[in-house]
Chain A
């Protein structure tokens, strides 16, 4: 180790070990970062990235190992101590309070002696300075995800941080918003602030980061210069093996329409929800249509409307295989050979305390395979379905029929997708098929979606991951604020066009229409 050069580092974390029960989440990890450097922290889900940054930010205490700040050994007992040193953090799952205003949210992260009255003015000044405009009196619940992230960033900037930690900041942004963020980060770096940047998106790491530390299964595997690597070589370091490329030969001519949405509108009961407005979309046999969009633009409402979790008032708005079924519930739609995979795998897609075979019964009870006969559950049949699913989709588990909660995120996702796939549905609707899943499992799921479509089914994928969308879909529609764009052939869309659609370019703007 380079002890002599240690004094030039802003932050060093040496030989960090963190043990949770049996799991060594961090196993002898060392990371160092200079002022003005944008340093990437890479790794798959569960590699220990979040644990390491939580230790640096004081939310967790290391089992062993030492932190150095500007060359001096330090103990960061809690986040307040980290902020005192000059460490700010933007969380992946924002640490914001929906029911409070922007100013109140920021005040909560500042020292107690800050004058809340004068804060609104400071927020406006700093946010405009860095090109992150914010209205101080807006309620967080009313803001878009991009705006919420701005609050987190401005909250850090107000503390004049020397080190800014960002946990997957671009996962929730449109490409244009991400570009804006990079400008801000580069400006901060040029002012001497260090940035610790966690991301899954290797292209952007190559674009803005000066240095990279890569973790795998809690261990440090490499320290590399991202400029000298390719996205593929970085991915291989993260996964520790070659990532199988998904084979997406473009399908032939699509067949007859299997899923049609006609002027589908759905008002929302939830004051923080999104109403769907006149959505038209047709998916034919043999094709995959993807719905892109920034989180919180009506994706979950759209999924509910298509799946029948929220039936429509008008029966003609949803047609499956040509028959109207808008008023039908999810079980009746399943009987029409449709299958649905919701976004949250735990709690919505699977009951955590149920064994996998019982989770099979929950979506198969009314649709064959004999898991339910004359109202009685046939456990043997349910276990057979479970074995088939787990074998086909390589679900790794300790016992033959474990509780859903005991599976890791990626394995459970393979199970909830596989459970619907084994029904060989004619229509499959998936919300966020690979969210928070490691690269290997994601490739397997994507390949299964493509194979299902090529065998003559209609597949509708709702996703925020643009790389995934371009990898698997034949046509792409974009949803923003409950309105859906036309579905364009994937090869005709550029990243930039999608970004504009995500920002609402296709929305019917009544004020503009009135003006012209």
Chain B
């Protein structure tokens, strides 16, 4: 395996969980809901995914359990913010704290145990092509999902009536309600989708990225995913670029460190964040694009009059 091939493969592995979590949050935010609990949903996905895969011996069951854990966490958030009308910011932060604590408790019994690694989907002939084979066709199912989901989301958002309704609910919930759409129900659905994607991202961490359970193994990726959604101005294709840009800078930093270049390690590890900030500043230059795509109702609770 050549050095370039290895670098590209690690970039893909580093970007996949970010992209998965971020695309879910993008849909949630498009419907006008700000869920700051991505980190908490992700870590719960990781621990439940690992525990299920370890107990059953099946990595695919682990993926399913991770997804389900994310959905359960997100439904807790949805019930609090949509039905009980609590503050989305406070509830999201508590969801993260809850997830980090609860995952430590569940995961205690699984610390240090050997994990079940998600297998690479072997595509006959294609996977065997040198260089291109492993890069394009040598991945597990979650890597393909992380690419397919954003494309699917882009299609739904911009080509279908469902996407129009989601954008409408996020853009002006009073108007959407006046036209007879069930704002709360649409938001429940979008929050669940966000939870599912975050759960998948967590499962990827504990079943593919490093197939074991380590406490706090999400290590801030949920927050990066949240930043990526803003970075993308709520556009799925930009989100894919953003996730891969972040993953690339991150991995490049690690390689530079490994090569022994005399740059302080702290500077290198902060590099992805610096690049994200610079990219955000550049993007915010185009105000019209940002304004048109920003869900106007984001973070605002909606209570229909009765």
Interface residues of A (CB under 8 A from B): 20, 58-61, 78-80, 83, 91, 93-100, 104, 107-109, 112, 116, 139, 141, 269-272
**Chain A residue at minimal CB-CB distance from B295:** A99
Which residues of B have CB within 8 Å of A141?
Answer: 291-292
> Is B167 a contact partner of A96 (Cβ separation < 8 A)?
no
Chain A to chain B contacts (Cβ below 8 Å), 26 pairs: A59-B178, A60-B306, A61-B306, A78-B180, A79-B180, A91-B178, A93-B174, A94-B175, A95-B178, A96-B172, A96-B175, A97-B168, A97-B172, A97-B176, A98-B172, A98-B296, A99-B292, A99-B293, A100-B164, A100-B167, A108-B168, A108-B181, A109-B179, A112-B161, A141-B291, A271-B287
Give, as a whole number of angstroms, the nearest-CB distance from A182 to chain B. 25
Give, as a whole number of angstroms, the nearest-CB distance from B251 to chain A. 36
* Interchain residue pairs A-B with the least CB separation, the first 10: A79-B180, A95-B175, A271-B288, A95-B178, A80-B180, A97-B171, A271-B287, A78-B180, A99-B292, A271-B291
Which residues of B have CB within 8 Å of A79?
Answer: 178-180
> Is B296 a contact partner of A99 (Cβ separation < 8 A)?
yes
Measured in the bound complex, the distance between the Cα atoms of B165 and A80 in whole Å is: 14
Number of B positions contacting A (CB below 8 A): 23
**In-complex Cβ contact of A98 among B171, B180, B306 (8 A):** B171
Which residues of B have CB within 8 Å of A61?
Answer: 306
> Is B287 a contact partner of A269 (Cβ separation < 8 A)?
yes
Measured in the bound complex, the distance between the Cα atoms of B305 and A104 in whole Å is: 26
Give, as a whole number of angstroms, the nearest-CB distance from A58 to chain B. 7
Measured in the bound complex, the distance between the Cα atoms of B168 and A80 in whole Å is: 16
Which residues of A have CB within 8 Å of B292?
Answer: 99, 139, 141, 271
> Is B165 a contact partner of A108 (Cβ separation < 8 A)?
yes
> Is B167 a contact partner of A97 (Cβ separation < 8 A)?
yes
Give, as a whole number of angstroms, the nearest-CB distance from A64 to chain B. 15
Measured in the bound complex, the distance between the Cα atoms of B305 and A20 in whole Å is: 9
Which residues of B have CB within 8 Å of A104?
Answer: 164
Which residues of A have CB within 8 Å of B305?
Answer: 20, 60
**Chain A residue at minimal CB-CB distance from B289:** A271
Which residues of A have CB within 8 Å of B175?
Answer: 94-97
Give, as a whole number of angstroms, the nearest-CB distance from B49 to chain A. 37
**Chain B residue at minimal CB-CB distance from A82:** B180
**In-complex Cβ contact of B164 among A108, A139, A270 (8 A):** A108
Contacts A99-B293, A269-B287 known; 5 new A-B pairs at CB < 8 A: A95-B174, A99-B292, A100-B164, A100-B167, A271-B291
> Is A116 a contact partner of B180 (Cβ separation < 8 A)?
no
Which residues of A have CB within 8 Å of B291?
Answer: 99, 141, 270-272
Name the residue among B167, B172, B293 with the largest chain A CB count within 10 angstroms. B172
Which residues of A have CB within 8 Å of B176?
Answer: 95, 97, 108
Measured in the bound complex, the distance between the Cα atoms of B168 and A83 in whole Å is: 19
> Is A99 a contact partner of B167 (Cβ separation < 8 A)?
yes
**In-complex Cβ contact of B179 among A60, A108, A116, A270 (8 A):** A108
Which residues of B have CB within 8 Å of A98?
Answer: 171-172, 296
Which residues of B have CB within 8 Å of A58?
Answer: 180
Decide yes or no: A99 and B171 within 8 Å by CB, A107-B164, A271-B287 being known contacts: yes
> Is A100 a contact partner of B178 (Cβ separation < 8 A)?
no
Which residues of B have CB within 8 Å of A83?
Answer: 180
